[in-house]
Homo-oligomer: A and B are copies of this chain.
Amino acid sequence: MISVDFIIRVIYAETDMMGRVYYGRYYEYFEAARSHLLREIGLPYSEIEKAGFYLPVIESHCEYKNPATFEDELTIRTMFKNMPRSTLRVEYEVLKDNTIVAIGHTVHTFVNHDGKAVRPPTTFRKALEDHWNEE
Contacts and interface: CB of A to CB of B under 8 A. Distances in A.
Contacts of A63: 58-59
Interface string A14-47: 0111111011110110011001000100001110
A56 B24 contact: no
Q: Please tell me the size bucket of the interface on A.
A: 35 or more
Nearest to A30: B24
A54 interface: yes
B64 A58 contact: yes
Interface of A: 9, 11-13, 15-20, 22-25, 27-28, 31-32, 35, 39, 44-46, 54, 56-64, 67, 69-71, 106
13 contacts: A9-B32, A11-B28, A11-B35, A13-B27, A15-B16, A15-B17, A17-B20, A20-B56, A23-B57, A24-B28, A45-B70, A56-B67, A60-B64
